[in-house]
Amino acid sequence: MRILLPLLAVLLLFNCNNEPAKTKETKDHHAATTAPTSQPSGKLTYDQEKNFKSLKQLTNGGDNAEAYFSFDNSKLVFQASNDAWGAECDQIFLMDLNGAMDKKPPLLSTGLGRTTCSYFMPGDETVLYASTHLADEACPDSPRTVDGKYVWPIYESFDIFVSDMDGKIVKQLTDNPGYDAEATLSPDGKMIVFTSMRSGDLELYTMDIEGNNVKQVTSGLGYDGGAFFSPDGKKLVFRSSRPKTKEAIDNYKSFLDRGLVQPTNMEIYTCNVDGSDLMQVTNLGKANWAPYYHPSGEKILFSTNHHKPSGRVFNIFSINEDGSDLKQVTFDNTFDAFPMFSYDGKYLVFSSNRNNGGTRDTNVFLAEWQD
């Protein structure tokens, strides 16, 4: 599940294996949060974006997000809604690193229902993604405001599927009542982490790539999601929200009963793959989400709006696993999110509202990374 529009606020909190979370005090909260300068004419980057040796725009128009590398680093799988491509709501597409600027890329989902969170499977011949198409071929309703509050729909019709490169579904990995989505793969290609409602709450689970050996990772009230493995495959990083006051808990439960969450507060957490050693990495307030490990395994990149009083600007920051050395990486004036490193660590792909001609289009960008 993703958020594209610049007016959004993001997800909610949680707990691993009922253990008290060992909060890591986030240090240097205001480090490197210089106000962005104007984007130089004719350039895709801002002067402060020192980690980008080069930057290339891969899509041009529509809402394009959650682009993830193939294991051989030659291709990207991503989700997009684009009227020009016949995608009224999010569908899964494929592109190589030369981009798909002037034509519709290959469609890997059915084109029916709504899809989310695609990821390459071992061998780069199949991808997994979540879809609602079995319940309804039409795009489901997508409410944004309920009771005067910004909300996210949690579609109980989401299940996780595997498709080949011709868009043919070859396997259904989940067939459980309620939400199953947000699946990503371990670096060794042996394990999948995903978010599910099968316990009655939104929690992290793991399973093997055949959909067997399902194990619950987190437990506790709140929404855990958007999980990724560390480079060595031993840990998970994810966004989490934990309502603590009675009012917050009642509000969370009330929305969840209606298939909704109110994504306005979220922090970044890590835990071992079995759910042990839960750690809170950020303590910034507002919406901190879309985390991904740096190739070193010692730092995490994530998107946040904590640095802007309005909360309407999201940029990518980096932070050490222990919550220290917070640094701003991107400086667009509206929206940067969904960072993922190539498996060789040479490139970073992310989504941004930069260079969109003043529209609301969100496009995919490829940066040549330098530390």
| Residue ranges of domains in the chain | 22-369
Note whether 94 and 118 are within 8 A (CB).
no
Q: Taking the CB of residue 318, how many other CB atoms lie within 10 A of it?
A: 18
User: Of 149, 148, 116, 142, which is closest to residue 262 (Cα–Cα)?
Assistant: 149
SS3 annotation, 290-325 = EEEECCCCCEEEEEECCCCCCCCCEEEEEEECCCCC
Helices (H), the chain: 246-257
Structure tokens at 368: 């040549």
Task: For the chain, give the number of residues.
Answer: 371
Q: Distance between CA atoms of 46 and 108, rounded to whole angstroms?
A: 34
Note whether 334 and 324 are within 8 A (CB).
no
Q: Distance between CA atoms of 340 and 346, rounded to whole angstroms?
A: 11
Q: Is 257 helix (H, G, I), strand (E, B) or coil?
A: helix
Give the Å distances, CA to CA, from 210 to 65, 192, 235. Answer: 26, 9, 21
What is this structure's pTM? 0.91
The rounded mean pLDDT for the chain is 89
Give the Å distances, CA to CA, from 313 to 7, 154, 303, 310, 334. Answer: 8, 24, 10, 7, 5
Q: Distance between CA atoms of 108 and 209, rounded to whole angstroms?
A: 19
Q: Distance between CA atoms of 77 and 121, rounded to whole angstroms?
A: 11
User: What is the phi/psi pair of residue 85, to 5°?
Assistant: -100, 5
Q: What is the pLDDT of residue 39?
A: 56
The residues of the chain scoring below 70 in pLDDT are 1-42, 100
Q: What is the pLDDT of residue 100?
A: 65
In this structure, which CATH number among 3.30.1320.10, 2.102.10.10, 2.30.31.10, 2.120.10.30 belongs to the domain 22-369? 2.120.10.30
Percent of the chain residues topping a pLDDT of 70: 88
Structure tokens at 33: 């949060």
Q: What is the pLDDT of residue 32?
A: 39
Give the Å distances, CA to CA, from 262 to 16, 189, 303, 335. Answer: 21, 33, 18, 20
Structure tokens at 97: 């690193």
User: Of 228, 201, 235, 242, which is closest to residue 15 (Cα–Cα)?
Assistant: 242
Contacting residues for 78 by C-beta, under 8 A, at least 6 apart? 59, 64, 65, 66, 67, 68, 92, 93, 95, 118, 364
Q: What is the pLDDT of residue 265?
A: 87
